A and B are shown apart, each in its own frame.
Chain A
Amino acid sequence: MAVSFADVTKRFADGTTALDGLNLEFELGEFVVLLGPSGSGKTTACRLLAGLEMPTEGRIEIGGTDITGLPPRFRDIGMVFQNYALYSHKSVYENIAYPLRIRKIAAAELDQRVKQVADLLQIGSYLHRRPSQLSGGQAQRVAVARALVWEPTICLMDEPLSNLDALLRLHMRTELNRLHKRLNRTFVFVTHDQEEAMTLATRIAVLKDGKLVQFDEPRAIYRQPSNRFVAEFMGRPAMNTMDGMVEDGVFRAGGVTCKVECRDGPVTLGIRPEQIGFGQIGSEDGFSLTLDVKETVEPDTLLIFANDEGTITVRTQRDCDDLAAGQPVNLRFPMEALHYFDARTGERLR
């Protein structure tokens, strides 16, 4: 069974178009990440699925049933909010139990279920506390527990990790991954953090300006970005892209020269910082650039070169102690690591 968005458009009262004809379909059981910069419509897509917003046009279906216009309570969907939205006047236990109380689950089963899900999320020891006495990470877990306790078909998460500090975020990420593997439940997760998306998703939907740009597995998105936007959005540091001309199978732009497998004419060349190699001076496919800044991020080193067109960043594990700013360095772009994009539209070529 699948969840599908068919030509879904959402315009708000103030005239902004948050979603513009979104088409998206995924299977139940997946961990789908909606990824995009702010204003891309990812949160709106999530809220439309939740039923908190209604689409201006289009249909949303779950397992073939049209749920467009259906209030949230009939949708069998749970949700974790960015600010957790815990009921401050109820204890943690009552927060988690609340969806069950609404569904009039008998006391014994309710208690069992709350304790089970609390166990699962390792919050069993502070069930009696108030939300105000919880740390960010604990509140986060309570919010997840509340969304899972009644076992909805789909669990939505709207940037749930963005209010946590860095270390905790990594930890919760692992937890969520484990949770998905354990429960085999459908998760839809909204984030602007490409690293979160890469680690969590079975498939990533990249959105931009209310449109779906690419929907694929993380690996495919990283290796075969469908256009320049996705290429630059995924990976840190971002992919190097440069506009230039191909003549006789050789690409030239600023100080960059390399052999390419591409028809002649204008093209945007892309290469990931970690795939740039170091060349011998005078070798055929290498070229020389002046080192601008060196940043050490153990165990890697980032070398940043400035040329007329912009900057090129290299990420390497090579020992760079001998290099200093202002020195010329020979670089080499391996042909198999190159991405080609249409110079005008930014679409991937081939």
Chain B
Amino acid sequence: MSSQRISRIAPRESATLHREHVPDKPLQRPRGRFLLDRGASLPLILPATILVLIFLVGPFGYMTYTAMTDLSYANPDQNGAFVGLDNFRHLVRNDPIFWHSFWLTIRFVLVAVGLEFVFGFAIAWLIWRFVERQRLLTTLFLVPMMLAPVAVGLIWRLLLQGDFGMVTHYLHKVGLLSQSSAVFSSPSLVMPTIIAIDVWQWTPFVTLIILAGLMSLPKPPFEAATMDGAGPWRQFVDILLPLLRPIIALVLLLRAIDAFKEFDKVFILTGGGPGTISELLSIYAYRVNFKNWDLGYGAAVAFMVYLVVLIMCSVFYKAVYWKSAGAAGR
């Protein structure tokens, strides 16, 4: 601020400007339509909108239409005749595998996201509370989540190999696994294993975002609570959790939407098997479409997946744009 000290410097003659203060001739009004100066939203926003319309809404519309036909590449007789809501009717009433996949997916989402949230929150809290160089540590934690899901599938297939898998070996040694056999061929173990892998992969996501939320928490409410005599537990329940609520909602929703769409990892790990034990909704939709080539019915299944995600998505939108959500939100 030293240079700001009031100085009285006499004006120097050298610093005169070039032009007269009043121009010798009046401003010329240029001709033209000034296209570059319009407050033009449309040309800038249109390419993106069109691209999405053609390659997303278009396919979606086509899928909705296909879902009402009997199109199948496997059966030459079914060449796409319009069947109305038959596919959906069959899906809802007479397709136990669909319902099996549906409830399996729901359970998968609830358990996996629930565990991820509990672990992720706890880890975030520990880092926030006890670690000074948070950034470095958090970055290391991120590794599982940044790997391609396909690679995650590969890694765990390798680790859980029946005869030489590293993790299988140690689990067997400490007695957690009765026999050193392939985990993925055991009907009772396959889903818990998939959930465990999902937790391994995505807990860092919860940690990362909750930690960001914790670090952006305002101090005054906690100071006021301390002055009011609230202990650590009361502060946690009465101040920290409510302040963090928007971020918690956000994390849970984002994770739930992603988990509901889960495909890559499970496809590599089990392909839905053994039988249909681990056949999540996306994998079922894949099988109907690209193994059975029953495209009309497959479109109906895909439509149902889309519908559920869209509903979760609207909830997400409401949660994010919850204006009263507080300082931590947008």
How many A-B contacts at CB < 8 Å in the complex?
74
Q: A1-B26, A64-B26 are in contact. Are A185 and B21 (CB under 8 A)?
A: yes
Given known pairs A125-B3, A138-B4, the reply for A119 and B15 (CB within 8 Å) is yes
A70 at the interface (CB under 8 A from B): yes
CA distance A67 to B3 in the complex (A): 40
Task: Quote the shortest CB–CB distance from B310 to chain A (angstroms).
Answer: 32
The answer to whether B15 and A116 have CB atoms under 8 Å apart is yes
Interface class of chain B by DSSP: loop
Interchain CA distance A60-B245 in the complex, whole Å: 52
Chain B residues with Cβ under 8 A from A76's Cβ? Answer: 23, 27
Within 46-64 of A, Cβ neighbours of B (below 8 Å) are at 62-64
Is B11 in contact with chain A by the CB < 8 A criterion?
yes
A318 at interface by CB-CB < 8 Å: no
Determine whether the beta carbon of B3 is less than 8 Å from that of A138.
Answer: yes
CB-CB nearest in chain A for B23: A153
Q: Which of B1, B7, B17, B26 contacts A116 (CB 8 A)?
A: B17
A119 touches B27 (CB 8 A): no
Asked if residues B6 and A167 are in contact (CB atoms below 8 Å), the reply is yes
Q: Which of A63, A73, A168 contacts B23 (CB 8 A)?
A: A63
| Chain B positions within 8 Å of A182 at CB level | 11, 15-16
Q: Determine the chain A residues whose CB is within 8 A of the CB of B94 once the complex forms.
A: none
- Hey, which chain B residues are within 8 Å of A116, CB to CB? 14-15, 17
Complex Cα gap A76–B19 (Å): 12
**In the complex, which residues of chain B have a beta carbon less than 8 angstroms from the beta carbon of A117?**
15, 17
Q: Are B3 and A28 in contact (CB under 8 A)?
A: no
Say yes or no: is A334 at the interface (Cβ < 8 Å to chain B): no
- The CA-CA distance from A63 to B27 in the complex, in Å, is 7
* Distance between Cα atoms of A148 and B12 in the complex (Å): 17
Given A65-B26, A183-B21, A119-B34 contact (CB < 8 Å):
no
Residues of chain B within 8 A of A75, CB atoms compared: 27
Bound complex: CA of A67 vs CA of B9, how far in Å? 39
Distance in Å: Cβ of B11 to nearest Cβ of chain A: 6
Do A67 and B29 touch (CB < 8 A)?
yes
B76 at interface by CB-CB < 8 Å:
no
Whether B22 contacts A28 by the Cβ 8 Å rule is: yes
- Known contacts A71-B34, A167-B6, A178-B11: does B29 contact A65 (CB below 8 Å)? yes
Instruction: Please give the distance in Å from A14's CB to the nearest CB on chain B.
Output: 16
Shortest beta-carbon distance from B7 to chain A in Å: 7
Residues from chain B with a CB closer than 8 A to the CB of A122 are 7, 9
B324 beta carbon closer than 8 Å to chain A: no
Indicate if the CB atoms of B21 and A184 lie closer than 8 Å.
yes
* Contact A62–B27 (Cβ < 8 Å): yes
Is B43 an interface position by the 8 A CB rule? Answer: no
Residues in A100-146 with C-beta less than 8 Å from chain B: 113, 116-117, 119-120, 122, 125-126, 135, 137-138
Residues of B within 8 A of A178 (CB): 11
CB pair B4 A119 closer than 8 Å: no
For residue B37, give the distance in angstroms from its CB to the closest CB of chain A. 4
Q: Complex Cα distance A65/B27, Å?
A: 6
CA distance A171 to B1 in the complex (A): 14
**Residues of A contacting B3 in the complex (Cβ-Cβ under 8 angstroms):** 125-126, 135, 138
CB distance from B2 to the nearest CB of A (A): 10
Residue A151 at the chain B interface, CB threshold 8 Å: yes
Q: What's the minimum C-beta distance from B84 to chain A, rounded to whole angstroms?
A: 46
Task: Give B125 Cβ to nearest chain A Cβ, in Å.
Answer: 34
Return the chain A residue nearest B38 by Cβ.
Answer: A71
Is B231 interfacial (CB-CB < 8 Å)?
Answer: no
A122 and B11 CA atoms in complex are apart in Å by 11
Chain A nearest Cβ from B19, distance in angstroms = 4
> Which of chain A's residues has its CB closest to B13's CB?
A182
The residues of A that contact B28 with a CB separation of less than 8 Å are: 65
Instruction: Scan B225-250; emit 1 where CB is below 8 A from any A CB, else 0.
Output: 00000000000000000000000000
Residues of chain B lying within 8 A (CB to CB) of residue A73: 37
In this complex, what residue of A is CB-closest to B29?
Answer: A65
**Set of chain A residues within 8 Å of B7, measured between Cβ atoms:** 122
Are the CB atoms of A70 and B29 closer together than 8 Å?
A: yes
How far does the alpha carbon of A137 sit from the alpha carbon of B6 in the complex, in Å? 11
User: Closest 8 A-B residue pairs measured CB to CB?
Assistant: A71-B37, A63-B26, A184-B21, A120-B15, A151-B19, A65-B27, A185-B21, A28-B22
Between A and B, 13 residue pairs with Cβ closer than 8 Å are A1-B22, A1-B26, A67-B27, A70-B30, A70-B34, A71-B37, A74-B29, A116-B15, A119-B14, A126-B3, A151-B17, A153-B23, A184-B21
Query: Which chain A residues have a beta carbon within 8 Å of chain B's beta carbons?
Result: 1, 28-29, 62-67, 70-71, 73-76, 113, 116-117, 119-120, 122, 125-126, 135, 137-138, 148, 151, 153, 167-168, 171, 178, 182-186
B: residues with CB less than 8 A from A are: 1, 3-4, 6-7, 9, 11-12, 14-19, 21-23, 26-30, 34, 37
**Known contacts A64-B26, A153-B22, then 10 further A-B pairs from the complex at CB < 8 Å, ordered by chain A residue:** A1-B22, A29-B22, A70-B29, A74-B29, A116-B14, A151-B18, A153-B23, A168-B4, A182-B11, A182-B15
